[in-house]
Amino acid sequence: MRASPAGGEAESAQLHYRTCHLCEALCGLAVTHDGAGRVLSVRGDAEDPFSRGHLCPKGVALADLQDDPDRLRRPLRRQGERWVEIGWDEAFEIAERELRRVRRAHGDDALATYTGNPTAHNTGALLLLAPFLAAARTRNRYSARSIDQLPNMVVNRWMFGNSALFPIPDLDRCDFLLMLGANPAMSQGSICAAGDFMGRLAALRARGGRVVLVDPRRNETAGKVDEHRFIRPGADVFLLGAMIHTLFAEGRVRLDRLAAFTDGVEALRAALAEFTPEAAAVPTGIAAADIRALAHEFASAPRAGCYGRIGTCLQDYGGLTAWLINALNVLSGNLDREGGVMFTHPAIDLAGLAAASAATRGSFDTYRSRVRGLPEFMGELPVAVLAEEMLTPGPGRIRALVTFSGNPVLSTPDGRRLEQALAGLDFMVSVDAYLNETTRHAHLILPPAGPLERPHYALALNLVAVRNVAKYSPPLLPKAADARHDWQILLELAVRLGSRGRLDRALWRGVQALVERLGVEGLLDLLLRAGPYGGLPAGLAAPLDALRGFLFEGRLGAALLRRGAGLAPLLRAQSGFSGTRRGLNLDTLRQHPHGLDLGPLRPSLPGKLCTPGRRIALAPPPLLADLPRAAVALRRPLPSGLVLIGRRHLRSNNSWMHNAPRLVKGPSRCTLMMHPDDAHAAGVTDGQSARVSSSVGSIELPVRLTSEMMPGVVCAPHGFGHDRPGTRLRVASRLAAGASLNDITDAARVDPLTGVAAVNALPVTVTACP
């Protein structure tokens, strides 16, 4: 399938509409194809009510990913230094035999799982991941969450009672937007799906609003906002604390309607007594008068919102920063207010489904990692401990691993040490489309069907969208007869790892057969009908509850049938559904291929809160207990030397798009950005290769001098390092090799409160290479 220029479209060309799944923006695509699988062009869908024709370069490359000759089509088994294609039955038998062998010999926790970032963009995988994880029966679960949005989810749990309740900026009605550690011009919006984020910012400014960006780099977004302020990496907690201190000190707190259901206001006031603008000026690099002015402007705006992204998460104070962002929105009366920050009402409400279960709502610290004692969250341990849990001898040591759509060697801290750990595993299975820097260590690779062969519905990302929308994208291509969807792979592994004995296996197979008959489309239809806009037929509440328990908690499949509330009634009913029934369902979405706009964000508190008494907890005890750690740093002299931050590019999403030629063409983007004064002190010149060293290693990068950088801060991109031997990524290894930032990030640096990796503000030295 080759994407041809628009001028090459034939008279028989057909149109296919879908949502791009390559980042969080949810852009609508109009794909012109010849009906036989050849893509002729990819354009933005002007009739999509959410993205309104917006498109970034990633969407155009969908056909490249589908047709990539390096994408694996059949299971691979490693034999010595060679890879051999095998059949699916043999592959599943090997996986079951070897993983069960490890569990029998060393216990359930000797098996670990790692789930990568692409899972959030994959409907079928999201639906069938929980049954697989439950069947794995291990406490050693890991995911990309702990190198991304983990602080937000932990804080959501403590403040709102539900980790899936994300406050989202109401961009379309906002008057003043404060952004910290964000670069939506490159990310297209993250934990804030916006479908043309920058266009919405332009509209905000055109109607007289203001946008202020606070970041250690004058990044690509900075040129398109009203004001940019430099801040030292990792110092957001001091800025936010000082702004809130100012609101208290000057009587500018206005809870408005939130006062009726908010606890902890006075406790927060007392806790932030030391965080004066004068004290915060030193660690932030922002003058006290400017901090006060920013607080005044935020508090006096008719409708304002504070939004923080990856720069505020991956640092020593990730949890505290996420908390104070929410607190600022609450204390200014902007939480749950039109034009402020609000909660979504998606057609399939994952937050509502999570609210039915304490486990999915967000367990925390029910157990800790074996070696370092870091806390679990939602049944997962921080990925920063993954390598040490493999390398440290003793009971509970990880000896087998299943990775799903992830490349942790390039995307998690201290990648070189993780490589060492992977090489020593007894057995490793990777569900992945590529032989990449991580999967090359596997003994078995199970590749899923291509990206245009699967249906798509934005299950997870509608939870964080700036409008309530619903859109179904059917497959453009049929799945090859000998291929397996990733959800089918997960379900088969769940059956094989979860069943105990013949009877249990038979019951699991029964559930599997019913799920296979429903398919992703049938499951989506049922969930849409059971959602806030659906019309669920009478009499299906009990079996639907059983289905939800299976999909979102991984309850043992056999129990579904034994309770008499299994999937069979749903299957019978679903086969009789038609588009004439009332309420939103899959037939309705099929009739609206551009998607449906379900309306703007709307107030929903206190009803959506899951805390006792449905009250906002403004001063949760764990956060209050961690605040003195920041107060000590507030008084500490500034350290000398350089610190490192990361960045991404518009054409990348972590490491998983670098094998598409049109996304990596042009000059190398893997460079070290550095202020000219810092370069002069280090003795390096523009374009010269420099060695960047940390406590765990060093990498070499060409230097790009720019005044965009705050003095004392250097910046390198994330997701490169495709120079490892033994991969099958011909484009990436030739055009995007670069160096991996995570070869020098330190897995020992974490936010002790949440366990998130503190990869920003990493102390480094820079020296010229000969």
Q: Which residue has the higher pLDDT, 476 or 12?
A: 476
418-422: average pLDDT: 98
The answer to the question of residue 420 being in a domain is yes
Average pLDDT over residues 719-727: 94
Tell me: do 424 and 546 sit in the same domain: yes
Cβ(43)–Cβ(408) below 8 Å: no
Q: Is the pLDDT of residue 384 over 60?
A: yes
Confidence of residue 4 (pLDDT cuts 50, 70, 90): very low
Instruction: Among 407-411, 544-548, 550-554, 657-661, name the one with the lowest average pLDDT.
Output: 544-548
Structure confidence at residue 360 (pLDDT): 54
**Lowest model confidence (mean pLDDT) among 117-131, 162-176, 413-427, 500-514:** 500-514
Residues 592, 699, single domain; the answer is no
Instruction: Say yes or no: 330 and 261 in one domain.
Output: yes
**pLDDT value at residue 571:** 59
Give 206 or 507, the one with higher predicted confidence: 206
Confidence of residue 12 (pLDDT cuts 50, 70, 90): confident
Q: What is the mean pLDDT of residues 381-398?
A: 97
Query: Is the same domain home to 326 and 245?
Result: yes
- Per-residue pLDDT at 750: 97
Establish if 425 belongs to a structural domain.
yes
The pLDDT value given to residue 354: 73
Residue 395 buriedness (CB in 10 A; 0-12 / 13-18 / 19+): exposed
In a domain, 373, yes or no: no
What is residue 8's predicted lDDT score, i.e. its pLDDT? 46
Sign of the torsion angle spanned by Cα atoms 449, 119, 415, 649: positive
pTM of the prediction? Answer: 0.95
User: Who has greater pLDDT, 212 or 770?
Assistant: 212
Report d(CA 252, CA 250) in Å as an integer: 6
683 and 708: one domain?
Answer: yes
- Residue 572 has a pLDDT of 59
Instruction: With respect to residue 362, please indicate whether it lies within any of the assigned structural domains.
Output: no
The confidence score (pLDDT) of residue 7 equals 43
Cα 511 from Cα 44, distance rounded (Å): 40
Q: How does pLDDT run across 297-311, given as a tens digit for each residue?
A: 999 999 999 999 999
What is the structure's pLDDT at 564?
41
DSSP for 328-365?
A: HHHHTT-BTSTTSEE----SS-HHHHHHT-HHHHH-EE
Share of the chain above pLDDT 70, in %: 93
Provide the pLDDT confidence category of residue 566 given band limits of 50, 70 and 90: low
Instruction: Give pLDDT, residue 3.
Output: 43
Are 441 and 511 part of one and the same domain?
yes
Mean pLDDT of the chain: 92
Segments forming the whole domain that contains residue 329: 165-347+605-627
Q: Is 579's pLDDT higher than 90?
A: no
CA distances from 690 to 170, 300, 702, 713 (A): 43, 47, 6, 15
C-beta of residue 307 within 8 angstroms of C-beta of residue 341: yes
pLDDT in tens, 220-241: 999 999 999 999 999 999 999 9
Residues 202 and 57 in one domain: no
Q: Give residue 544's pLDDT band: very low, low, confident or very high (50, 70, 90).
A: confident
* pLDDT for 746: 97
CA dihedral for 221, 224, 225, 227, sign (positive or negative):
positive
In CATH, what number is assigned to the domain containing residue 27? 3.30.200.210
DSSP class per residue in 101-162: HHHHHH-GGGEEEEE-GGGGG-HHHHHHHHHHHHHHT-S-EEEGGGGTTHHHHHHHHHHHS-
The residue behind tokens 């925390």 is 364
Q: Who wins on pLDDT, 512 or 112?
A: 112
CB atoms within 10 A of CB 279: 18
What pLDDT score was predicted for residue 5? 42
pLDDT higher than threshold 50 for residue 70? yes
| Same-domain check for residues 452 and 335 | no
As a whole number, mean pLDDT of residues 205-221 equals 97
Regarding whether 747 and 725 lie in a shared domain, the answer is yes
**Which pair of tokens denotes residue 703?**
């230097």
pLDDT of residue 508: 87
Q: How confident is the model at residue 651 (pLDDT cuts 50, 70, 90)?
A: confident
| pLDDT higher than threshold 80 for residue 565 | no
pLDDT score recorded for residue 369: 97
Please state, in angstroms and rounded to a whole number, the distance separating the CA atoms of residues 56 and 43: 9
Confidence band, pLDDT 50/70/90 cuts, at residue 712: very high
Rounded mean pLDDT, 101-111 = 97
| Residue 315 domain-assigned (yes or no) | yes
pLDDT tens string 114-127: 999 999 999 999 99
Residue, of 537 and 715, whose pLDDT is higher: 715
Answer yes or no: do 199 and 304 share one domain: yes
How far is Cα 567 from Cα 756, in angstroms, rounded to an integer? 38
Domain CATH number, residue 223: 3.40.228.10
Look at 2-16, 621-635, 682-696 and tell me which has the smallest mean pLDDT: 2-16
Q: Is residue 170 located within the same domain as residue 277?
A: yes
Q: Residue 69 pLDDT > 70, yes or no? A: yes
| 294 occurs within a structural domain | yes
Structural domains in the chain (count): 4
**Per-residue model confidence (pLDDT) at position 37:** 77
pLDDT > 90 in the chain, percent: 81
Q: Across-strand partners of 400?
A: 111, 427
Tokens of 55: 């498109």
Gap between the Cα atoms of 114 and 346, Å rounded: 28
For residue 710, what is the DSSP state?
P
Q: What is the CATH number of the domain that holds 669?
A: 2.40.40.20
Which of residues 576 and 717 earns the better pLDDT score?
717
Strand partners for 15: 32
Burial pattern 740-769, b for ≥16 Cβ within 10 A else e, equals bbbbbbbbebbbebbbbbbbbbbebebeee
Same domain? 539 vs 674:
no
542, 573, 596: which is the final residue of a domain?
Answer: 596
* Mean local confidence (pLDDT), 238-249: 98
Token pair for 482? 């000998």
Q: Is the pLDDT of residue 160 over 50?
A: yes
